[in-house]
Amino acid sequence: MTRTLQSFAVLALALVLCLAPDRPARARELSYTVTATLPHDEEAFTQGLLFAQGQFFESTGLYGQSTLRRVDPATGKVLARRELDRNHFGEGLALLGGVLYQLTWRQRLVLLYDAATLEPRGSLPLETEGWGIAATPFGLVTSDGTPTLTWRDPLTFKPGRSVAVTDRNRPVERLNELEWAEGWILANVWHDDRIAVVSPATGKVAAWIACAPLRARLPGLPRESDLNGVAWDPAAKRLYVTGKNWPAVFQLKLEEWPAP
């Protein structure tokens, strides 16, 4: 290649690089320390988990086996329990204003309960499949297995604002269990041992929490033992993580949240 052709090739490459769109930075993984391993009912097909008033509230799934539970974190003992109708498949769970909101998978219903007594308080319609739900300062936010998160009116459950979740400009499919923590939405991904740390404003994934090392501590888990329980303790700044039929709940201390 002549010197002229070499110079032309260099100029052409420089032009391509200048015109190419900026590639977004890869979302980093957050470091954490396991500070405690707590017992968990292996029979619980966990679909939703939250921490409030020093206790866990848990939603479990499967037809004919779905429940709503109040659980002692230290012992794993079920302190109170309510069985769902056999035709209801329990999903995500949120607490707002003293009311528990429990999603159902394909029944197009949101079941309401008094948080103090677990007594039923009626239901609300849901136009999509129910997967995950969390209480935020802006109302309730839900997932339905797609990349879309939708905010809803707590009184009617009608949809309002929605946001598409992306990582490096690619949609993140199968969003499931949700939690609100430190201004972020935490969303675990079905069939993936990772939790996305999502901006509620833009839907962009700012970081990931890799939970495969937690699963590795639990050999012999059944096939459908997906990571599917994420709860945040805002007072102690602790994250609790478990899954379907996991015999343990892991208490995590995150080393550093992403910059806002």
pLDDT at position 23: 52
Contact indicator for 110, 124 with CB cutoff of 8 Å = yes
* Predicted pLDDT at 259: 79
The contacts of residue 244 (CB under 8 Å, 6+ apart) are 44, 45, 46, 47, 61, 224, 225, 226, 228
Q: Where residue 10 falls among pLDDT bands split at 50, 70, 90? A: very low
User: Binning pLDDT at 50, 70 and 90, where does residue 76 land?
Assistant: very high
> Which residue segments constitute the domains of the chain, with CATH numbers given?
29-254 (2.130.10.10)
Q: What pLDDT, on a 0 to 100 scale, did the predictor assign at position 14?
A: 43
Q: Output the pLDDT for position 1.
A: 45
pLDDT of residue 151: 96
Structure tokens of 152? Answer: 């809803």
Neighbours of 189 (CB within 10 A): 20
The letter for the amino acid at 217 is R
Q: Which of 8-22, 37-51, 105-119, 129-143 has the lowest mean pLDDT?
A: 8-22
Report the candidate in 61, 256, 79 with the shortest Cα–Cα distance to residue 69. Answer: 79
Which residue in the block uniquely carries the two structure tokens 């405690």? 36
The pLDDT value given to residue 19: 42
Average pLDDT of the residues in 165-190: 95
Does this model's pTM top 0.85? My answer is: yes
pLDDT given at position 201? 94
Radius of gyration of the chain (CA): 21
